[in-house]
Homo-oligomer: A and B are copies of this chain.
Amino acid sequence: MMNKLSTQPPKGTADWWPEEYAIRKYIFDTWRSVCTRFGYQEYLTPLVESADIYRAKSGEDVGGKELTVFQDRGGRELAIRPEMTPSVTRMVAEKYESLAKPIRLFSIANFFRNEKPQRGRNREFWQLNFDIFGSDDLNADVETLQIAIEIMLAFGATKDQFQVRINDRDLINSMATDLLKIEQGKVSDAIRLLDRFGKIENDELTEELKNLGADPDDWDEFYSYLEKDEKAMQSYGGSVFKDNEGIERMEKIWKNLADLGYSDYFTFSPSMVRGFDYYDGMVFEVFDLSPDNNRSLFGGGRYNGLAGIFGSEPFPAVGCAPGDETTRLFLESWDLLANIDTSPEIGYLPILSKSLEGDAQKLAATLRKEGMNVVLGLEEQKLGKALEYADKQDYPNVVIFGEDERLAGKYKLKNMADGTEEDYPI
């Protein structure tokens, strides 16, 4: 005998019943509409890829212990995609030479990471990815940030609810090598530590950085630097970063975003790091400002070097990837889902007597042609039972079609919310 199998979805995944699906669809539709408005075109890559494209530069978690690897029939090592960036880079690298540049693309797809599930991080998740390939112009960085902000605004979020924190990998590297005087081999470890600024005590951070050999001229100067925003940074005299390309890029990006009217929505964040190894220019994260949920919602940045893993000449790329689960939690915690209508636009047409079955089927066909979404009863049903069913299913309307209506060549439409009925000719 077979053992009873569980009816629960696997750990770190979820079933989306229609009410939940309606919320996710609202999120996807909002993403799609903003990206389309900016002229990005939708694409899709395969669910699985050669495992090596993630091992190359996705970092030790996403490209390592969280990677779901299996063999296909031909013995190739494949992995379920844990993120989109290596896939879309592969796809673009395949045709890059023959394409008119720049190329603007977006996708909405599902991903899987074999990680420890926690609030806002499921094993399976959905992500929007939007990217510009083939332009090194800072206007591409600005457009990426602009779309990230416009997505938040499209959800109805305000400046008190979210903030875009911007940094540059050149600045982060300089901070490690020039300010902290960390030796080359330990820079990655130091950068990972810097990302914990604000999450752990400064004393603890100092201790851990010292273990890596950090020896700045002045620890206070280091910590005051980490707290600078873009205004403070612009007047930061005598800095080791004066001639750094990263600070020049940052200043242009801040100015351009301000000119576009987005001053309220962004800040410079010198300690902000993105976890993927492939980022090599501007990086950013969108933060939830709620004190209860002060966390990164999503992020993005430049990854000009990534295409190199496919042996082609690297090409410039910048992009961003919001996820469904963090977005959903954000919208819920700020009460931004209140106006989403998750009830189905459906009219229920019960078969009130067996003799009406044929005519009810024809009426259903007519109403559907006229644009109504019609659920037709399957078995003969008394009106009371029919109304009860429509109520339980949350159907907003019932099409009443009894013997009287048939003879009069009409039907009644009952509004389930207020109980009113109106006659319509067939």
Chain B residues positioned under 8 Å from A9 (CB to CB)? 45-46, 49, 90-91
Contact of A39 with B378 in the complex, beta carbons under 8 Å? no
Contact of B16 with A373 in the complex, beta carbons under 8 Å? no
> Which of A98-106, A188-196, A210-218, A235-243 makes up part of the contact surface?
A98-106
A201 proximal to B (CB < 8 A) = no
Tell me the complex Cα distance, A131–B110, Å.
23
A275 proximal to B (CB < 8 A) = no
Contact of A48 with B105 in the complex, beta carbons under 8 Å? no
Partner of A310, one of B4, B69, B73: B4
Contact of B365 with A13 in the complex, beta carbons under 8 Å? no
Contact of B74 with A393 in the complex, beta carbons under 8 Å? no
A47 proximal to B (CB < 8 A) = yes
A116 proximal to B (CB < 8 A) = yes
Tell me the complex Cα distance, A347–B36, Å.
11
A259 proximal to B (CB < 8 A) = yes
> Which of A134-142, A284-292, A326-334, A410-418 makes up part of the contact surface?
A134-142
Tell me the complex Cα distance, A114–B389, Å.
42
Chain B residues positioned under 8 Å from A152 (CB to CB)? none
> Which of A50-58, A159-167, A296-304 makes up part of the contact surface?
A50-58
Contact of A70 with B72 in the complex, beta carbons under 8 Å? no
Chain B residues positioned under 8 Å from A408 (CB to CB)? none
A138-153 vs B, Cβ < 8 Å mask (1 yes, 0 no):
0110010000000000
Since A10-B46, A10-B72, A39-B375 are in contact, a sample of 7 more A-B pairs with Cβ atoms closer than 8 Å, ordered by chain A residue number, is: A5-B53, A10-B76, A13-B47, A21-B41, A37-B373, A38-B368, A102-B378
Q: 9 A-B pairs, CB-CB below 8 angstroms?
A: A9-B90, A10-B50, A11-B76, A14-B46, A37-B373, A39-B344, A39-B373, A48-B124, A139-B378
The 6 closest A-B pairs by CB, nearest first: A4-B311, A39-B375, A13-B46, A100-B392, A18-B41, A7-B94
